[in-house]
């Protein structure tokens, strides 16, 4: 079904701008797309620097034909890279068979995906999956589960990012994101990051849940201190509060295991997933582990029209299948280690260390030059992300090869030089 663009029925704005290799495809220049963007798209993301028209594996091409090594992967999302044939095949086959049904009906990929997620999570008897369309929605679901305990308090951590819808935003910490939209749903308190004493002091029988990320992605690739998660599990259990682990960014192979929490030996009450799950097709999941938690939301208390959509769930099944078939978890560990080990010497003196796990890495800078380094990288054909002023985030496709990682490390000394020379911000 993934026909050559010239064989596809014409759709203005789609088939007429596809950039096909070896073919003088009709396309507008990047500057023109960016100009049209700023007159039609709401200004919530600022002005984009490039218009991207095509991708293949770990590479993308812009509207001017420039190629980039995509070390951000749609923000930890395109885990199989771009235009992966197995993903394209599964989505095309499902869309040409049954594209959408209401939640009054079951569909095979929806059921198979839920079963597969429970299997990968080694979920105990009685566990269940609620399927949605994004990370924020996955956390909204978890928030509603927490409310159903009947307890008024919900804990999250300073630096937390759980999404931008009003409930997820209440769990998110960053004042710039929250304050313009207050009042937010009440009862949420943010505790100092990684501080077990503060957690212990905050926990009582009024606490419904603690929300945590194993590695805070948006806060700058900040892993929880070793031992925190296991202790948080014990402490929440002791007061009957739920432990909700937000694996929207860290899940689905990103850190070199299927899920980041597994290595810490904990069984959460709720795990939320999105980003990488669909390999680039929107999908989210709220997984409740065990009978008691799974019984908290009952018929009529939650829903979404698109959740469990056959095409999105087929995409997720294809993504999980390829990760297993091609042993991408081993690749994540190997290539991640290569980048983490090589970046401080290649990026010296600006890059001082690397944090994170697998292929979710934060390059720490000696000075707040992340924007300048990311801009230099883009000019040189590498997409990276200035996640904070002094941290550059890498979250590439899990198919990134050692050679591709090396090409970035080889370019890094010069990128650092350019970033160092850039004018003081």
Ligand X SMILES: *Cc1c(COP(=O)(O)O)cnc(C)c1O
Here the tokens at position 373 are: 């380094």
Here the tokens at position 40 are: 């039609």
Residues 1/36, Cβ–Cβ less than 8 Å: no
Q: Compute the least distance from the CB of residue 304 to ligand X, in Å.
A: 13
Q: Compute the least distance from the CB of residue 233 to ligand X, in Å.
A: 18
Residue nearest to ligand X (CB): 135
Residues 72/383, Cβ–Cβ less than 8 Å: yes
Provide CB contacts within 8 A for 123, sequence distance 6+. Answer: 117, 287, 289, 290
C-alpha distances in Å from residue 65, one per residue of 2, 58, 375: 22, 16, 18
Q: How far apart are CA 125 and CA 260, in angstroms?
A: 22
CB closer to ligand X out of 142 and 350: 142
Q: Compute the least distance from the CB of residue 15 to ligand X, in Å.
A: 28
Q: Which residues bind ligand X (CB under 6 A)?
A: 134-136, 139, 161-163, 213, 217-218, 246, 248-249, 274-275
Question: Number of helices and strands (H, E) in the chain?
Answer: 14, 17
Q: Compute the least distance from the CB of residue 282 to ligand X, in Å.
A: 8
Query: What is the DSSP pairing of strand 128-132 with strand 153-157?
Result: unpaired
C-alpha distances in Å from residue 138, one per residue of 141, 299, 326: 5, 17, 28
Residues 151/241, Cβ–Cβ less than 8 Å: yes
Q: How far apart are CA 61 and CA 69, in angstroms?
A: 9
CB closer to ligand X out of 63 and 315: 315
CB closer to ligand X out of 375 and 395: 395
Q: Compute the least distance from the CB of residue 40 to ligand X, in Å.
A: 21
Q: Compute the least distance from the CB of residue 218 to ligand X, in Å.
A: 6
Q: Compute the least distance from the CB of residue 275 to ligand X, in Å.
A: 6
Residues 365/373, Cβ–Cβ less than 8 Å: yes
Q: Compute the least distance from the CB of residue 165 to ligand X, in Å.
A: 7
Rounded to whole angstroms, the maximal C-alpha distance in the chain is 66
Torsion angle (degrees, nearest 10) of CA 331, 333, 338, 343: 130
CB closer to ligand X out of 213 and 357: 213
Provide CB contacts within 8 A for 226, sequence distance 6+. Answer: none
Here the tokens at position 262 are: 């597994």
The DSSP code sequence of 16-42 is GG---TTS------HHHHHHHHHHHS-
CB closer to ligand X out of 136 and 210: 136
Tell how far CA 43 is from the center of its chain.
22
CB closer to ligand X out of 274 and 340: 274
CB closer to ligand X out of 53 and 271: 271
Q: Compute the least distance from the CB of residue 172 to ligand X, in Å.
A: 8
Length of the chain: 425
CB closer to ligand X out of 161 and 408: 161
Q: Compute the least distance from the CB of residue 368 to ligand X, in Å.
A: 22
CB closer to ligand X out of 70 and 246: 246
Helix/strand/coil percent split, the chain, to 5: 40, 20, 40
CB closer to ligand X out of 218 and 390: 218
DSSP state of 369: -
Q: Compute the least distance from the CB of residue 13 to ligand X, in Å.
A: 24
CB closer to ligand X out of 151 and 275: 275
């Amino acid at each position: 079904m993934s026909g050559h663009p010239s064989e596809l029925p014409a759709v203005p704005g789609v088939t007429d701008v596809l950039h096909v290799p070896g073919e003088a495809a009709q396309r507008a220049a990047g500057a023109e797309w960016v100009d049209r963007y700023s007159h039609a798209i709401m200004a919530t993301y600022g002005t984009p620097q490039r218009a991207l028209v095509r991708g293949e594996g770990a590479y993308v091409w812009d509207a001017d034909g420039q190629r980039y090594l995509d070390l951000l992967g749609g923000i930890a999302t395109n885990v199989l890279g771009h235009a992966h044939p197995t993903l394209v095949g599964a989505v095309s086959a499902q869309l040409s068979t049954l594209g959408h049904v209401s939640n009054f009906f079951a569909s095979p990929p929806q059921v198979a995906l839920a079963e597969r997620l429970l299997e990968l999570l080694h979920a105990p008897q009685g566990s269940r999956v609620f399927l949605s369309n994004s990370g924020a929605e996955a956390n909204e679901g978890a928030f509603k589960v927490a409310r159903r305990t009947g307890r008024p308090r919900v804990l999250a951590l300073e630096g937390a990012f759980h999404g931008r819808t009003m409930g997820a935003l209440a769990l998110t910490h960053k004042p710039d994101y929250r304050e313009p939209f207050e009042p937010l749903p009440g009862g949420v308190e943010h505790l100092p990051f990684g501080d077990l004493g503060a957690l212990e002091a905050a926990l009582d029988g009024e606490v419904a849940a603690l929300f945590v990320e194993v590695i805070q992605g948006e806060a700058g690739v900040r892993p929880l201190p070793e031992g925190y998660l296991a202790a948080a599990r014990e402490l929440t259990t002791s007061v009957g509060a739920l432990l909700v682990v937000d694996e929207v960014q860290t899940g689905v192979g990103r850190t070199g295991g299927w899920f980041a929490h597994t290595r810490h030996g904990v069984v959460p009450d709720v795990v939320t997933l999105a980003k990488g799950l669909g390999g680039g097709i929107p999908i989210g999941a709220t997984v409740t582990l065990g009978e008691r938690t799974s019984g908290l939301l009952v018929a009529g208390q939650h829903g979404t029209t698109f959740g469990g959509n056959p095409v999105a769930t087929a995409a997720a099944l294809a993504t999980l299948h390829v990760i297993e078939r091609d042993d991408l978890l081993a690749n994540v560990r190997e290539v991640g280690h290569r980048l983490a080990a090589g970046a401080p010497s290649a990026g010296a003196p600006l890059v001082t260390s690397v944090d994170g796990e697998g292929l979710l890495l934060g390059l720490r800078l000696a000075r707040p030059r992340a924007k300048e380094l990311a801009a230099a990288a883009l000019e040189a054909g590498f997409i990276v992300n200035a996640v904070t002023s002094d941290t550059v985030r890498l979250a590439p496709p899990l198919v990134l090869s050692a050679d591709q990682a090396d090409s970035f490390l080889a370019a890094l000394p010069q990128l650092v030089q350019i970033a160092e020379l850039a004018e003081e911000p």
